[in-house]
Structure 1
Amino acid sequence: MQNVMSPGPLLDARGHLVEAGWAPSEVKTYRRSAVKAPKFRLKEWDYYCVLTPEYGIALTVADNGYMGLLGVSWLDFTTPSEVTENVMLPFPMGKLGLPSSADSGDVVVSKGKARFEFRHVDGGRRLIVDYPAFDHGKGLHADLFLESPADDRIAIATPFPKAPRSFYYNQKVNCLPATGTVRVGSQQFAFAPEVAFGVLDWGRGVWTYDNTWYWGSASGLVNGERFGFNIGYGFGDTTAASENIVFVNGVAHKLDRLAFEIPRTYDGAPWNFTSNDGRFEMKFEPIIDRAAKFDVGVLRSIQHQVFGRFTGTVGLDDGTSVEVRDLLGFAEEVRNRW
């Protein structure tokens, strides 16, 4: 049994999680001022990934206490190739003003000539990025509208064993139809809602020092219906709930536990995903490994975010099965000491 959280504050007066578990909406209220850990331990980020069959973009605004980050990845699935560039922000410690809700409040951050805007507008979200220095001065400009239907999502509160003031409050919002353009250098790329879908990864929490996580996500059309999933594990105490879930036309179908079977060499060999109850059985064919390594003294991050296509079967709550073929998405392994 997985605990479904009830509405109320996320943290109590001691900075401890009031309740661990999951919900299909933002039922818990997060307040930065309620956190009782040092500011440099608190980590907040908004991450958007918007993909089409031929290309895609990933955008990050993160305040990790002693380090902030503005990140852009441009993905070309036909070549295939990717360009990732980050602007580092020293010791933001809350100065980025990231909102306390995934459903309200805007993100507007500038560093030098780079400017990121994640805004709530009527019917959805608008992502605007100006990054003149991107890819050796080619420059990147993005203006995308993500329609935000009143869908179910995964909102999950995870505690960490033996660290009562550590927690992770995370929301994943899948299957957001995208409209707009991205210009890279002199080339312009169109995003149309029939083929372009976005996901929001909204994270707020106090993490312990050494963690490895596994995350996978996909959004698109299957049998003419909006279909997506979020899968993952690897950190914290997930006894109360896993983050594994499937969405069909905005309705959530909760899954239990699953495992990532990853080739150790990241050489393009297929990945496999299997669940303890047989409801999620998937093969993943990699296209691009967006690998990154950051190692400075006590701070270390080794990332493999791999984009590719999922094929397999998913069992829904009513017992029916959905056949998935070549659904574009990503899966990752990230090891952090931070």
Structure 2
Amino acid sequence: MTAPPVAREREITEPVALTGPDGRLNPAAIGFARAPLIDTRGIGRGRFVRSWGRNKRWEYWNVMTPTHIVSLTVSSLDYAAVHEVWIHDRATTRSWGRSVTVLPSREVSLPASLGTGIAIARHADLAATITPAERGTLWRLHAEIADASFDITVRRPPGHELLAVVVPWSSRRFQYTVKDVALPASGVLTLDGIDYDVGQGSWAVLDHGRGRWPYDVSWNWGAGSGTLADGRSLGIQVGGRWTDGTGSTENAVLLDGVLHKISASVVWEYERAAPLRPWRVHGGGLDAVFTPFYDKKSATNLGVVSSRTDQCFGTWSGTFAGDGVVIAFDGIEGFAEDVRNRW
């Protein structure tokens, strides 16, 4: 198989605005960063009327504990607010969840840029808040639905880096994504009145997004968090399809809080019709096998707006050799997904 192409990515080290005064992509923002340096206040605001319906803003958190899986989404797509709270018991495979789509978008508040305010979702039977604290080194996740709630604290260890990437399809269509992996989590889940600890060995992943998207798009995303045999923390972050041809990738390995950027595209090998079979992701020095144990399937069809997702949870194993690092890993918990959106 032909080696995947390697992008020529520029590292951003100073704060910069995502958009210019006309609402179009600021060329100086294209690249990647190890901290949330991009000012995204221009998304969903201003006079760029022709972009209405293309603005997408979201906060997504996933927390994997030894006993449960937790997901929280607060988002606005211009014309709709879309939120989800989901908790899954790994032993019994029972899930508690609520997804809501509010037309038009209302009862939702999202900060202009990452860490500058509280994300809030309110609906008749769903309430959620995502609260940053201590200058972005701590997050509080709170959500309530019928028969289930959680209060989770996520900490960013000192010196912990993240992956922030601006993906340019064109001057009018672009995305700023922050993928923050291998974040220790603690707290409590309450399910049917019974409390469960979010304790040792619990890891959180953040997907923060601000951008203007094409109508029809497909992507792969995978993430993993855990600890190597020598005690160092490991985070895996890989993506595919949606960045093709843009010169940007969202691929990296995080070792003990230090980001090792993978500028090559990675190859995804899996069976879309059988997503619970092993997946392989390789390229740029990474060669990883993902072994799923659960598929969180979802589908929505509202006519012109539709989505289909297979988000599989499981474990990562493999090797990484690059950027002066050579490691082998096994049993790193996380997920891999296949998504198509018409939105």
When the two structures are superposed, what TM-score results if normalisation uses the length of structure 2? 0.89
In 2, Cα distance between the equivalents of 1:248 and 1:34? 40
1:197-256 CA-to-partner distances (Å, cap 9, x unmatched) read 101100011111110011001112123122102100212555432110111111100112
Over the matched positions of the two proteins, sequence identity in percent amounts to 28
Candidates 323, 331, 337, aligned match of 2:336: 331
Partner of residue 156, structure 1: 165
In 2, Cα distance between the equivalents of 1:46 and 1:88? 15
Q: Secondary structure at the match of 1:40?
A: coil
Q: CA deviation at 1:108?
A: 2.2
Q: CA deviation at 1:14?
A: 2.5
Partner of residue 305, structure 1: 311
In 2, Cα distance between the equivalents of 1:248 and 1:124? 20
Does the 8 A contact of 2:144 with 2:150 survive in 1?
yes
Does the 8 A contact of 1:314 with 1:321 survive in 2?
yes
In 2, Cα distance between the equivalents of 1:219 and 1:253? 15
1:270-316 CA-to-partner distances (Å, cap 9, x unmatched) read 111111x4x11111111111111111211111111111111111124
Partner of residue 7, structure 1: 15
In 1, Cα distance between the equivalents of 2:311 and 2:11? 29
Q: Secondary structure at the match of 1:165?
A: coil
Candidates 122, 135, 138, aligned match of 1:124: 138
Q: Secondary structure at the match of 1:304?
A: strand
In 1, Cα distance between the equivalents of 2:46 and 2:259? 30
Q: Which runs of 5+ in 1 are unaligned?
A: 133-138
Candidates 37, 41, 46, aligned match of 2:59: 46
Q: Label 1:267 to 1:244 Cα distance change in 2 as closer, same or farther (>3 A).
A: closer
Q: CA deviation at 1:325?
A: 0.7
Does the 8 A contact of 1:274 with 1:280 survive in 2?
yes
Equivalence map 1:310-321=2 (5 Å): 310-318=316-324, 320-321=325-326
Q: Label 1:286 to 1:110 Cα distance change in 2 as closer, same or farther (>3 A).
A: same
In 1, Cα distance between the equivalents of 2:292 and 2:306? 25
Partner of residue 34, structure 2: 24
Root-mean-square deviation over aligned CA pairs: 1.8
Q: CA deviation at 1:330?
A: 0.2
- 1:269 to 2:274 alignment: no
When the two structures are superposed, what TM-score results if normalisation uses the length of structure 1? 0.91
Partner of residue 249, structure 2: 242
Does the 8 A contact of 1:23 with 1:154 survive in 2?
yes
Q: CA deviation at 1:143?
A: 0.5
Q: CA deviation at 1:175?
A: 1.5
Q: Label 1:239 to 1:87 Cα distance change in 2 as closer, same or farther (>3 A).
A: closer
1:81-118 CA-to-partner distances (Å, cap 9, x unmatched) read 5444202211117x622002222211122211421011
In 2, Cα distance between the equivalents of 1:280 and 1:81? 34
Candidates 86, 92, 95, aligned match of 1:73: 86
In 2, Cα distance between the equivalents of 1:74 and 1:232? 24
Structure 1 residue identity aligned to 2:143: V
- 1:172 to 2:182 alignment: no
Q: Secondary structure at the match of 2:108?
A: coil
Structure 2 residue identity aligned to 1:249: D
Structure 1 residue identity aligned to 2:145: Y
Q: CA deviation at 1:176?
A: 1.4
Partner of residue 135, structure 1: none
Candidates 108, 114, 124, aligned match of 1:112: 124
Does the 8 A contact of 1:228 with 1:246 survive in 2?
yes
Q: Label 1:296 to 1:173 Cα distance change in 2 as closer, same or farther (>3 A).
A: same
Does the 8 A contact of 1:197 with 1:220 survive in 2?
yes
Candidates 100, 110, 121, aligned match of 1:98: 110
Partner of residue 204, structure 1: 210
In 1, Cα distance between the equivalents of 2:101 and 2:114? 23
Does the 8 A contact of 1:3 with 1:240 survive in 2?
no
